[in-house]
Amino acid sequence: MDVICHTIPVTEPSDHTGAQLDHLVRRGWTPEGGQDSILPNHATRWLSARTGLVETSTPVAPDSALVVGEPRLPDGVRDALAAVVGTEHVLLGRDDRLGRAGGMSYVDLMRHRGTGDLAVPDAVVVPADPEQVQRVVELCAEHRIGLVPFGGGTSVVGGVTASAGDLGAVVVLDLCRLDRLVSVDPVSRLAVLQAGVTAPDAERMLAAHGLTLGHFPQSFERATIGGFAATRSSGQASAGYGRFEDMVEGLRLATPRGEWRLGVSPASAAGPDLRHLVVGSEGAFGVLTEVTLRVRQRPTVRRYEGHVLDGWTAGTAAVRALAQAGVLADVTRLSDPHETDLAFALSGGWKTALVRRYLRARGVADPCLLVLGWEATSAAELAARRRASLRVLRSARPVTLGTVIGEKWRHGRFHGPRQRDALLDAGVCVETLETATYWSNLDALRSAVRAALVDVLATDGRRPVVACHVSHAYETGASLYFTVLVPRDLDDPLGQWGRAKAAACAAITATGGTISHHHAVGVDHAPYLPAEIGPLGVDVLGAVKRELDPSGVLNPGKLLG
Amino acid sequence: MDVICHTIPVTEPSDHTGAQLDHLVRRGWTPEGGQDSILPNHATRWLSARTGLVETSTPVAPDSALVVGEPRLPDGVRDALAAVVGTEHVLLGRDDRLGRAGGMSYVDLMRHRGTGDLAVPDAVVVPADPEQVQRVVELCAEHRIGLVPFGGGTSVVGGVTASAGDLGAVVVLDLCRLDRLVSVDPVSRLAVLQAGVTAPDAERMLAAHGLTLGHFPQSFERATIGGFAATRSSGQASAGYGRFEDMVEGLRLATPRGEWRLGVSPASAAGPDLRHLVVGSEGAFGVLTEVTLRVRQRPTVRRYEGHVLDGWTAGTAAVRALAQAGVLADVTRLSDPHETDLAFALSGGWKTALVRRYLRARGVADPCLLVLGWEATSAAELAARRRASLRVLRSARPVTLGTVIGEKWRHGRFHGPRQRDALLDAGVCVETLETATYWSNLDALRSAVRAALVDVLATDGRRPVVACHVSHAYETGASLYFTVLVPRDLDDPLGQWGRAKAAACAAITATGGTISHHHAVGVDHAPYLPAEIGPLGVDVLGAVKRELDPSGVLNPGKLLG
């Protein structure tokens, strides 16, 4: 593989290298030789009993079995790209291209395991800076070559699928060399970060200034600043730090029509807020190269604790009360009884058994785990905020499990994707999906999605687990995040999940939820977008797309289908 | 005048009638026979001494002197409109048309006083409901008649100027009959309000449900829900309740291409947030007919108090500290020394003299008044929030003036426009303008705008007062609101202000502020928008406009010029 990502950032070097990145994408989330990717025996036993899982070791096709066509990039275009970024940053090798072939959805990972067809880019271009990105964008527009912006490659909705659409070839634009903290304004608490900076690198570089971004989605370990903005990401501490869109103050976008910069003040009435048109545009309007972000003082104290509420209705009422009283913990996460049960089952061990027994003794019929986490710059501030939360929570009569459960959650907060790798190895069809709605519609939405998933997946003796949690609460409503586990249909794994996902999306649309609260649209949700924003909404997005990307080369097939 | 606005709202009747509305717009802000519109003698004396004011009683042209042409509306269009809204709701009379001729800027009011040309609409159409609005919009598009949406008529940037552009005629769409609270969802804390509901009516109707919107801009007495959304309004309690855009959950828009509804959940990653494209679109993309808003529990306790900080630098540092610690009072408003001096001077009296003496005794060289106001649903909550604010404020060593000053401000919070009427009568050129920027640029921006205004207006012995305050603070920056008073150039009043406004706008643009923090773009700021959002931003807005309003009839000349 060609060596990439060797530019020296102004402030601090980043950990990742191109080599790491490639093989990570190829094999799933877990790094080569990484931990946490083996399913414990008790979990396998539980899954077999609970879901009817039979095959617990499923074959992965060897690399060589994956069909990778010859690059279709015309020589002239390759040379022109090389003239911009350097020959060594136009990657045509099989591994390089496979390494950026799609994202991290179940379907993407199954394709990398040899199931179905994998869309592999014709080349990977790795620009050094915003100026090079701009020239690459213009070149692709000129030659009508599809261009897929690529950060951490963590999309679970087909957002980085290397589809050429009706174009002759498609190039992945890997932004990993745009890894700099460009500037910090400590007075205004602003930081300009390049789009390819990963979340851990962003936190490390900001920490040197005593600052934090506070954006901790489950994709934290791999995802990038540009990806967060392009997809309207929301982190686990969204109640404290806001959604990513709340942090975005300014944007620098490379479009086929030239550079576009937005953002001069924290708020404005100078017409529509066009930043909100770029945030969430998923590379269809341009390639983000820099994002100006509101940052905060780095917390020095934290406390994460677990509580159990009895039943989903009591649980969501409590979270709603916290949200509407303005006293949500920074992390506020409520699992439904199915997810609580799943968490206990996968944890296993005598401690979990003790907790279950304790809850029964306390008369909790339908345990719903509530994790609350506060982070602050002083113990007094944390104590005051915690007191305010617990005062409101009291009326829900929580059974308090203390900080052990809370800290356990915090330590494992980014492990979900690794655990999924292990489940994939064990023959499980495992995927997540999410939505959001207003409080008065939340129960109906959860029931509808759950019923749709169970109905489609409970075939041939399979007994699906459909677990759900609220991880993002607002004054007017909340998100719902579903985790699905079911024995894989080894004869038709993609069809099995495809039917379930379609049923869930139809249920979401029919029940009035959003088709995505924080995973974005990508390819997978594009058919459902018109129901949410109306035909006029689609026409408006189309008009913006035609204005900025007249030749239609940017991220073909995403957002607008 | 024809009788309008007689529909019966579902919940509560509104106070205003069409008759009131007309004469209010015609004469300025102050209602016929209203209070607070006479300038006290001590204020006139102070203005003469301070600014060089000579003429203190300026003539207003009689109504009959205003040039109002014959309506240019083709008979066929008039009949078609009448078929939709009823003949009695297509107003062609001189007073009705004059009553919706422009907004409330200094220039608008001077035109109504007989200076310069007044753009008078060819007709006023007063639809009863969203369906009628939709049909009127389609009719105007079909016949290529300009359509100006009109709520409270409080725009100070030419946002409701009845310009026909290159069209043959222009109609004002008065939304006053869309005055209903459509629905309330107390669980989700959502309310659907029609666009023509005034802010006081909204508060009164919501109060019946124990709820509040919490949006209190200075235009509160007249402005409407639709206008707030169309202009990205921000209220005086924005630190507590958010800007209006933060309250908007859903929108219903009548466009020439049909109805467009947006908003299914509190947050979403389903592509760009198109609500932010409609909020701030100033009637150029469609006419808002309903807005779904986040509402809150009505506060039961409040406390407003005055503090004085020494100097602008210390004052803004204190407000920044409050904002960045997350402990802003709901109302947080800092006057610069000029505005503090102006407030004392216009108040007059022995109490003010005592305050001045007290501040001198405390060693305050450059008094900056800071008003802090908290509203809460319990005394304990208010006390806790107040303690948190004052703890941060302490390091700025405030001189506390207690609640008298705070309550005085609260009682007079909506009186500015009436006071302006009195100043207009007294021969003063009086206007406001505003901007916002990041904290590190705030001083530079204030100095630049101030210098530009003083430079242009200090002619022929006139000594302008340029006062400034911060009324909206954010973690990353703040707004600046300027009030200008200068003896009117009786020979060229519009030119006098026009040159000053142009100089201020140029200074804002050059110094990197936004051209408007909460007054919107309208006609007046349109020339400066390209500098803020870039040529691509203008192209994108143009593309959206062409998509939704292909015949270009909606609010001609606003936003995009």
A19 CA to centre of own chain: 22
Which residues, other chains included, contact A2 with Cβ-Cβ below 8 Å and sequence gap of 6+? A18, A88, A89, A91, A93, A96
User: Which is the catalytic residue, given B241, B304, B481, B528?
Assistant: B481
How far away is chain A from the Cα of B374, in angstroms, using its nearest Cα?
15
Task: Say whether residue A490 is in contact with chain B using an 8 A CB cutoff.
Answer: no
- pLDDT category, B33, cuts 50, 70, 90? low
User: Judging by beta carbons within 10 Å of its beta carbon (0-12, 13-18, 19+), is residue A302 exposed, middle or buried?
Assistant: middle
Tens-place pLDDT, residues B114-123: 999 999 999 9
Residue A12 pLDDT greater than 50, yes or no: no
Please report, for residues A150, B36, B478, the alpha-carbon distance to residue B348 in angstroms, rounded to integers and kept in the order given.
65, 15, 30
Predicted local confidence at residue A62, as pLDDT: 81
- Nearest Cα to B372, choosing from B412, B339, B401? B401
- Looking at domain A301-413, its CATH architecture is 3-Layer(aba) Sandwich (3.40)
Nearest to B294 among A435, A476, A537 (CB): A476
CB contact under 8 Å between A273 and B280, yes or no, is: yes
Looking at per-residue pLDDT, the higher value among B165 and A130 belongs to A130
In DSSP terms, which residues pair with B438 in a beta bridge? B477
Tens-place pLDDT, residues A271-307: 999 999 999 999 999 999 999 999 999 999 999 999 9
Task: Say whether residue B488 is in contact with chain A using an 8 A CB cutoff.
Answer: no
Site of tokens 């078609």: B80
Tens-place pLDDT, residues A81-107: 999 999 999 999 999 999 999 999 999
On whether the CB atoms of residues B293 and B213 are closer than 8 A, the answer is yes
On whether the CB atoms of residues A222 and A198 are closer than 8 A, the answer is yes
Please report, for residues B163, B226, B230, the alpha-carbon distance to residue B125 in angstroms, rounded to integers and kept in the order given.
16, 16, 19
CB contact under 8 Å between B518 and A269, yes or no, is: yes
Instruction: List the binding residues of A for FAD.
Output: 149-155, 231-234
CB contact under 8 Å between A185 and B438, yes or no, is: yes
Looking at per-residue pLDDT, the higher value among A348 and A471 belongs to A471
Predicted local confidence at residue A33, as pLDDT: 54
Rg (CA), chain B: 23
In DSSP terms, which residues pair with A168 in a beta bridge? none
**Pairing status of strand A428-438 against strand A477-487:** antiparallel
Residue B21 pLDDT greater than 70, yes or no: no
Q: Which of A446, A540, A546, A554 to mutate to test the interface with B (most CBs of B within 10 A)?
A: A540
Nearest to A280 among B245, B273, B512 (CB): B273
Mean pLDDT of A199-216: 98
Task: Say whether residue A515 is in contact with chain B using an 8 A CB cutoff.
Answer: yes
Site of tokens 């210390």: B314
Q: Name the CATH topology of B18-174.
A: 3.30.43
Tokens of B277: 């494209």
Mean pLDDT of A458-485: 98
A263: phi > 0 → left, psi -120 to 50 → alpha, else beta; which?
Answer: left
Rg (CA), chain A: 23
Lowest mean pLDDT among A18-32, A456-470, B3-17, B462-476: B3-17
Is B358 designated active site? no
Lowest mean pLDDT among B106-120, B281-295, B323-337, B405-419: B405-419
Mean pLDDT of B70-81: 97
Task: Say whether residue B514 is in contact with chain A using an 8 A CB cutoff.
Answer: yes
**Pairing status of strand B211-212 against strand B258-262:** unpaired
- Nearest Cα to A124, choosing from A67, A178, A78? A78
Which residues, other chains included, contact B107 with Cβ-Cβ below 8 Å and sequence gap of 6+? B116, B158, B494, B497, B498
DSSP assignment of A97-137, as one string? HHHTSS-SSHHHHHHHTT-S-----SEEE--SSHHHHHHHH
Task: Say whether residue B329 is in contact with chain A using an 8 A CB cutoff.
Answer: no
φ/ψ of B427, rounded to 5, equals: 85, 20
Helix (H, G, I), strand (E, B) or coil at A90: strand
Q: Hey, where are the domains in chain B?
A: 18-174, 181-297, 301-413
Domain A181-297 has CATH 3.30.465.10: yes
In DSSP terms, which residues pair with A467 in a beta bridge? A483
- Global ipTM: 0.95
Instruction: List the binding residues of A for substrate.
Output: 420
A379-393 and A312-324 helices, crossing angle to 10°: 130
